[in-house]
Amino acid sequence: MSDSGFIRSACRKRYQEEIEALGSWRQSGRKCAGFTCNAFPPAVIAGLGIRPLRLLCGASSDAESAGERVARADVCPHVKCLLGNVSASASLHSTVDIWIGLYTCDQMRRGFQVLSANLGREVHPIQLPATRATESAEYYAGQVRRFVADAEAHHGLRFDPEAALAWHRQWAEAADALKAAALSPEISPLDLHEMFHLFFIARPFGLADFFKNLIANAPRFKPSRRVVLAGSPLAHEDTAVIARLEASGIGIVPLNCTGLNAVELPGGVIDEDYTPPLPRPFAGYAAGVPALGVIDEDHTPPLPPSLRGVAKPGGAGNRANTQVCPNDLKMELVGSLALQAFHLPPCIRARPNTPVYERIGRVIAETGASGLIVKCLKFCDQWYTERERMRRSFDIPVLVFDSDYAPGGMDRLESRIDAFIEMLP
């Protein structure tokens, strides 16, 4: 083991800078949009001139209690904290003007309905299909296009394909750097956690270089063993498990939606100029995206061939003279971005979910992981009901447990983790 505070300190400093920049953004009259699931493409929000924020923060027993004033007590802690923070105008939730309400489970669906009907927030509902089929992907892309059309109509906005592509390419480069860090045994669990949560709320410009510099200059973490960590998302404040593992000299491979599932782009490859390939058969004009050139100093990439000559900026940073891009071409780009996000590695809700098990098994083999931890949020049936199948599927120690954000159960949780560590070969 080694002192890994260097990465954590740098990430927290930049996180605070992002919060300050967010305050200036909103003071200028511009809007922010919040979402919780990695299946929504932030570049689509950025293309509308809105600041995207993936909010997995503000997790506490106080936020849960506040959420229980508008939701039942036997609701997922993640949903209760979302509602509690919004109702109390707490955490980064207070900065959100528009919510992207991805229906990833029945509890989340009801949570967003409460957010709209009871708390009066603007919510754009989007059903995330569990079925992994071409028709489901097309249906999802259509809903994201509908969101863009609604946002343009309701807020007088205009989707800018150049802004969306600029955000997407920088975001993809940062995702690639973060993926390398997550697969490396030399980055500690708590450091990885801070890097991912910075990624979820930060502007992507220059973020890849920031991550690469941290990785190059930080002290090396030297774990005695590694475990795969799967299950429900880990909120920013939800560090008890990974802190206990790190203190015991155990590294992690974060195979959840707050880990590698959020950054492993379809196909697993990013070309040399960090433009991710977009999934087929949904090519259209977006098939030209992988051939784009280098981003200029204004972070504006050249457009795909069928858009060139249609949207021409009037100067660096000046959109005043930009011609209107035909709506059908803009919506093709929106659909392509949506499809790429849809094809990120699925969580256990996917049907069929056999590929989730196959992926866990493959990662265990590739990384030499000694064990598997499946951390579920309390009342999350989708993960917890898989516990027996998880234990039967892998020939290594498997720990499955559920938890909330209350501090009272920490001693019991730490005892279970310690017992699990003793079982590791």
> Which pLDDT value is given to residue 325?
62
Contact 424, 371 (CB under 8 A): yes
> Which pLDDT value is given to residue 283?
36
Contact 397, 420 (CB under 8 A): yes
CATH code for residues 186-265+348-423: 3.40.50.11900
* Residue 247, CA atoms < 13 Å, CB-side half-sphere: 9
Q: At 374, phi and psi to the nearest 5?
A: -110, 100
> Which pLDDT value is given to residue 273?
44
Residue carrying the six token digits 């220059």: 206
> Which pLDDT value is given to residue 279?
38
Helix-then-strand count for the chain, H and E: 15, 8
Measuring CA to CA, how many Å separate 83 from each of 105, 120, 185, 266, 383? 16, 11, 36, 32, 22
Contact 85, 66 (CB under 8 A): yes
> Which pLDDT value is given to residue 4?
54
Rounded average pLDDT per 10-residue block, the chain, 425 residues:
76 98 97 98 98 97 96 95 97 98 96 98 98 94 97 96 95 97 97 98 98 96 97 96 97 97 71 42 34 31 39 34 65 94 93 95 97 94 89 96 86 92 97
Q: Rounded to whole angstroms, how far apart are CA atoms 132 and 339? A: 12
According to DSSP H, which parts of 156-279 are helical?
Answer: 161-183, 189-201, 207-217, 240-247
- Residue 268: left (phi > 0), alpha (psi -120 to 50), or beta? left
Q: Rounded to whole angstroms, how far apart are CA atoms 396 and 363? A: 13
Contact 255, 228 (CB under 8 A): yes
> Which pLDDT value is given to residue 412?
87
Question: Edge to edge, what strands does the sheet with 122-127 contain?
Answer: 51-54, 32-35, 98-103, 122-127
Residue type at position 111: G
Q: Look up residue 115 and give its two tokens.
A: 């957010």
CA dihedral 178, 183, 188, 192 (to 10 degrees): 30
